[in-house]
Amino acid sequence: MVEDARRSTTVSFDPNCRPNLIGDKAEYVHRMDQFAARANIVRLSDSDFSFLYGGSDHERRAKALLAAGTALFVITCGAQGARAWHAQGGAIEVAAPRVDVVDTIGAGDSFQAGLLFALRAMGRLGAGPLARMSADELNRALAFAATCAAFTCRRPCADPPRLSEIGATPVDALLGGRAAPS
């Protein structure tokens, strides 16, 4: 089913690991690898990556996923921002906006939602459009996603931002003057 969907829609995968709930780590890693290999977009936090693969050789894993057909691989690193790899757009790093952190719960989910919103706004959802992203588009999408995550960290209880709260500057930078999708 996922393989069929991948041809007509964007499959985004965020494993959101919970190590204390996993009985058989080897089987879990195997299943996560199977899901990741079938996704167009894979996003992991640096702690999820460390749990699944140990260490921090993000680039090696990115190259393997891109070779398997994943279009975009993203690692979020909290206050250190995010790194992404894309076959056409290359490797990109974005800084995390500096904020007074109240609660980090939900920041990864807000990043992922912001990334998907940005890709939709740019017309880059779908296997073909996603594969043709430029480095500039990737940078703008990641910066927007990082802004969304930062908003979430500024308040308690996994409360993601609304588009109206983001403000005109990040949205305009993302969209290049086009109207935001509703």
What tens digit of pLDDT does each residue of 68-102 get? 889 999 999 999 999 999 988 999 999 999 999 99
Which residue out of 46, 103, 109, 159 is catalytically annotated?
Answer: 109
Predicted local distance difference test score (pLDDT) of residue 69: 87
Predicted local distance difference test score (pLDDT) of residue 2: 63
Instruction: Pick 2-175's CATH classification: 2.120.10.30, 3.40.1190.20, 3.30.420.10, 3.20.20.70.
Output: 3.40.1190.20
Predicted local distance difference test score (pLDDT) of residue 91: 95
Instruction: Give catalytic status of residue 109 as yes or no.
Output: yes
How is residue 89 written in tokens?
Answer: 């757009």
How is residue 57 written in tokens?
Answer: 């050789």
Rounded to 5°, angle at Cα 164 from 104 and 98: 35
Predicted local distance difference test score (pLDDT) of residue 80: 95
129-135: long-range contacts (C-beta < 8 A, 24 or more apart)? 130/10, 130/40, 130/41, 130/71, 130/72, 131/71, 131/87, 131/88, 132/88, 133/71, 133/72, 133/86, 133/88, 133/89, 134/88, 134/89, 135/86, 135/89, 135/90, 135/92
pTM over 0.75: yes
How far is 152 from 161, CA to CA, in rounded Å? Answer: 6
Low-confidence ranges of the chain (pLDDT < 70): 1-7, 168-171, 175-182
pLDDT digits (tens, 9 = 90+) for 145-157: 999 999 999 999 9
Predicted local distance difference test score (pLDDT) of residue 180: 55
Predicted local distance difference test score (pLDDT) of residue 167: 74
Predicted local distance difference test score (pLDDT) of residue 30: 93
Predicted local distance difference test score (pLDDT) of residue 22: 93
- Backbone φ and ψ of 43, nearest 5°: -125, 130
Predicted local distance difference test score (pLDDT) of residue 138: 94
How far is 9 from 77, CA to CA, in rounded Å? Answer: 27
